[in-house]
C-alpha cells in the first residue's frame, strides 16, 4: 500500500495521519499512539495500521482542512545530523570558516541539534537578528530510523531505515564560530528547523533517483542528487551506530549540498519575510517564511 505517514492538527487535536493521495487520507485512532509509537511497534504495528486503513472504518480527512505538523513530535534525544556529506559543499566553504578550516574528513562528521528547533513544514521560521547576523539555509534529506540497533553493519543498515522526509537546517554561522567551531549552538535556536512534510516509507523511495533543491524567494540556491552524497545512508548508519544505540523514531539529517549563503560572493543571509522552499523527488516540499520573534527575550 502506497501511503505517507505524518502528524496533523484536525479539529484542534493532533492525530497521526496516512496521506493516500493529493486530496487527503485517513486519521488513525488515538489509541494507536503517536507516530513514534507506531514506528517502535515495527512490522506488527504497520500491519495493524494498514489493516485499519483498508477496513473502511478510518476517519477521512481533506488535506486542505488540516494543518500538517512535523511528523515526529516526540524525541528520544537531540536531532542527529551529518555535516559535510556533499564534497562540493565542503569545498565551497574552504577559507570562509573564519580560521576554523579542517582537512577533508575521511569519515562522516556528526553533530546534534536541540529538538526544540523543530517546526512543521509550513510554519514560520523564528527569526531574531539580535541572536545572529548570519542566518543561513541548508536543504537536507532526513532518514527516520525504524529499528533500534547498535554497531549495525553496512549490509544490514537499510533494514533499520523506516523512511525519509525533508528538513531545512537553518543555521547561524556566527554562533557556529563563536563557540569554538562546535555546531550545537549555531544549529539549535528554537523554532528554526522545518521538518516533514510526510514520512515516505523506505520501500517507496529510490534514493539514488532523488533530486534535492532549495529556493530562496523563488531563486534556486541549492540543487543536487542524493547520489552525490560523500557517504551513503548505509555508511552513515553503520558509522554512527558503532558502539552507540540508534533508536526507532530517531531522525538523522544526511547533510546539505553546495549553494549555502555563507559560501557565496557576496554572502547571502536570511532576513525577515524571506520565503524558503525545500523540495525533493518523492518527498514533497517544505515552504516557510522567516518571521520576527523575540527569541532573545527572557522566557520561562
pLDDT for residue 97 is more than 90: no
Distances (CA, A) of 292 to 15, 116, 125: 29, 17, 8
Bond into 270 cis (ω within 30): no
Q: Residue 167 corresponds to which cell in the numbers above?
A: 528538513
Strands 251-253 and 59-62: unpaired
pLDDT (average), residues 229-250: 98
Q: What is the pLDDT of residue 99?
A: 63
Helix, strand, coil % over all residues of the chain, rounded to 5: 25, 35, 40
pLDDT (average), residues 167-173: 97
pLDDT (average), residues 91-97: 82
Q: Let me know: does 262 contact 186? Beta carbons within 8 Å.
A: no
Distances (CA, A) of 268 to 32, 153, 222: 45, 40, 13
Residues 6+ away with beta carbon under 8 Å from 194? 70, 119, 120, 121, 122, 123, 125, 166, 167, 168, 170, 276, 278, 286, 288
pTM beyond 0.75: the answer is yes
Q: Residue 235 corresponds to which cell in the numbers above?
A: 555508511
pLDDT (average), residues 249-266: 97
Name the nearest CA neighbour of 38 among 30, 108, 115, 14.
30
pLDDT for residue 271 is more than 90: yes
Q: What is the pLDDT of residue 101?
A: 75
Q: What is the pLDDT of residue 102?
A: 81
For the four alpha carbons of 20, 26, 32 and 33, in that order, the dihedral sign comes to: positive
Q: Checking phi first, is residue 126 left (phi over 0); if not, alpha (psi -120 to 50) or beta?
A: beta
How far is the C-alpha of 120 from the C-alpha of 71, rounded, in Å? 8
Q: Residue 213 corresponds to which cell in the numbers above?
A: 533543491
Point out the least confidently predicted range of 85-94, 149-158, 176-185, 223-232.
176-185
For the four alpha carbons of 81, 82, 83 and 85, in that order, the dihedral sign comes to: negative
At residue 164 the predicted structure's pLDDT band, cuts being 50, 70 and 90, is: very high
Q: What is the pLDDT of residue 94?
A: 84
| Model pLDDT for residues 137-160, shown as the tens digit of each residue | 999 999 999 999 999 999 999 999
For the chain, the residue count is 300
pLDDT for residue 95 is more than 80: no
How far is the C-alpha of 107 from the C-alpha of 235, rounded, in Å? 9
Amino acid at each position: 500500500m502506497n501511503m505517507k505517514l505524518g502528524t496533523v492538527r484536525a479539529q484542534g487535536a493532533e492525530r497521526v495521519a496516512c496521506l493516500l493521495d493529493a486530496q487527503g487520507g485517513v486519521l488513525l485512532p488515538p489509541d494507536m499512539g503517536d507516530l513514534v509509537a507506531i514506528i517502535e511497534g515495527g512490522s506488527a504495528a504497520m500491519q495493524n495500521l494498514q489493516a485499519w486503513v483498508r477496513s473502511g472504518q478510518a476517519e477521512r480527512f481533506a488535506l486542505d482542512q488540516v494543518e500538517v505538523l512535523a511528523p515526529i513530535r516526540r524525541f528520544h534525544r537531540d536531532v542527529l545530523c551529518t555535516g559535510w556529506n556533499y564534497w562540493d559543499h565542503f569545498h565551497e566553504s574552504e577559507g570562509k570558516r573564519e580560521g576554523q578550516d579542517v582537512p577533508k574528513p575521511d569519515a562522516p562528521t556528526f553533530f546534534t541539534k536541540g529538538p526544540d528547533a523543530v517546526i512543521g513544514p509550513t510554519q514560520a521560521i523564528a527569526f531574531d537578528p539580535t541572536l545572529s547576523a548570519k542566518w543561513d539555509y541548508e536543504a537536507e534529506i532526513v532518514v527516520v530510523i525504524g529499528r533500534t540497533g547498535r554497531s549495525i553493519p553496512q549490509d544490514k543498515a537499510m533494514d533499520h531505515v523506516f523512511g525519509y522526509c525533508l528538513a531545512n537546517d537553518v543555521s547561524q554561522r556566527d554562533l557556529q564560530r563563536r563557540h569554538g567551531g562546535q555546531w550545537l549552538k549555531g544549529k539549535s535556536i528554537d523554532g528554526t528547523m522545518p521538518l516533514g512534510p510526510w514520512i515516505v516509507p523506505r520501500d517507496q523511495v529510490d534514493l539514488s533517483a532523488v533530486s534535492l533543491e532549495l529556493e530562496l524567494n523563488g531563486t534556486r540556491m541549492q540543487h543536487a542528487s542524493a547520489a552525490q552524497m560523500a557517504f551513503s545512508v548505509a555508511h552513515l548508519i553503520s558509522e554512527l551506530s558503532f558502539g552507540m544505540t540508534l533508536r526507532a523514531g530517531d531522525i538523522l539529517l544526511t547533510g546539505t549540498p553546495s549553494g549555502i549563503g555563507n559560501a557565496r560572493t557576496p554572502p547571502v543571509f536570511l532576513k525577515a519575510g524571506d520565503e524558503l522552499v525545500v523540495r525533493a523527488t518523492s518527498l514533497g516540499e517544505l515552504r516557510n517564511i522567516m518571521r520576527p520573534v523575540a527569541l532573545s527575550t527572557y522566557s520561562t
